[in-house]
Structure 1
Amino acid sequence: MPEMPAVLANTLMPWFAKPSHVSRVETLAPGLRRVRFEGASLRGVSYEAGQEVEFRVSPTEFRHYTPSLWDVESGVLEVVFYLHGQGPGSAWAEALEPGDAVDILGPGGRLSVDADAPAHLFLGDETCLGLFQAMIRALPSPLRLLGAVEVAPGAEDWLARTGVPLTAVARRASRGEALSAWLEQNVLPGATCYLAGHAGSIVALRKQLLERHGCARRSLRSKAYWADGKRGL
């Protein structure tokens, strides 16, 4: 639901949205912000790590984000926003301040962790930091875990700031190129593979895993957050 007429959105939001307020805003790094939302409506919700929520970021536009944390007992939800500065979602997230009232739709979506897998491989970009943090936290322990996140050169410390225990790789000339090179040297046999972020990179990495590393199709799980030339995935 990336866009909806304002009149219709005004009618539907009171019926389906969960009211909350911003209780904390943290700037983890330039372009990276963690926001905490709290509210009684966020308690007792049926939620699985990897599911997403939706925010109304303008009178007619909505954007999906994946919580990095959702404590359904206390009614606390957190989102790590990557502020790429290219659209209403980034502008809305950058303007959030403590005390702001925010309506939340969801959760929804089918991406989830494979609790029975013997190992787990994560591949994505900056838009996946919250997703990977939530999914890794939900995995049973002890576990075999490996993965990489492609970031802009100079932003390699972002993973440590968000608590994501994966490898940061600096982006090269083409999206996904650094992840592909890393994957050639790091394969985790028998792993369930989680691919997220840039749609084009997911397609290339999926092909690489299937054709070069012999991964089974059933072991691949993916979620595209954005694509070149498109808005509102």
Structure 2
Amino acid sequence: MTRDSLTAAASAVGLSKIYGEGGTHVTALDNLGVEFLRGQFTAIMGPSGSGKSTLMHCMAGLEPVTAGSARIGDTELGGLDDKRLTTMRRDRIGFVFQSFNLLATLTALENITLPMAIAGRKPDQAWLDRVVAAVGLADRLGHRPSQLSGGQQQRVACARALASRPEIIFADEPTGNLDSRSGAQILSFLRDCVRDLGQTVVMVTHDPIAASYADRVVFLADGRIVDDLRAPTADSVLDRMRRLDAVARTS
């Protein structure tokens, strides 16, 4: 086992995902290998249909893989039955999506602690207080989603993902439904989670500015990783995207 694999929060080897059969099949992921290291913020980018969200869903155990291996830490997802996979997603993985997915009848605090309540577990109060302070909503915990702005609702969703102290957080276009100011607040929060709380974040995005908050950007095309950029800036991400687009047009 390599040193990097020892520090990987999630990894894939020979990962393929095929939808359909025969002449109608679509290869969404094609023999892909990648590692997402602990304590790192990684962005996944690529054109529409490149496999970005499919990769995240397979790595998070939301979709089964067709071939190859997807792991959280040293746990092979393909070897888990439905019950153990559900427990894995609840206890070791956090999710943040575009649509917030908050329950309208619950307060912000109740939404944040809901996964643990369903599991019959009490939150670690010290950690919960730290997360609530990090999202900056201590004075809004009694409010329901309809009483919160879009940015505040997404911060509640981020806090919910963090509340169980997961090994890795997957975020699928988390700023897609937000204005630029609210989006910047969410991205800064995710950045701070990595830097200050030691979290691991993997984010799918199409926005070079959003990607610039990450430590690393992985670029996909046709279900394969075609580029890997460290210490990205918005300009360097945009330049890579233009180059990849030019290659795609001439191939």
Short-chain TM bin: under 0.3
Q: 1 or 2 for the larger relative contact order (CA 8 Å, sep ≥6)?
A: 2
Query: TM (normalized to structure 2)?
Result: 0.25
Query: TM (normalized to structure 1)?
Result: 0.27
* Larger relative helix fraction: 2
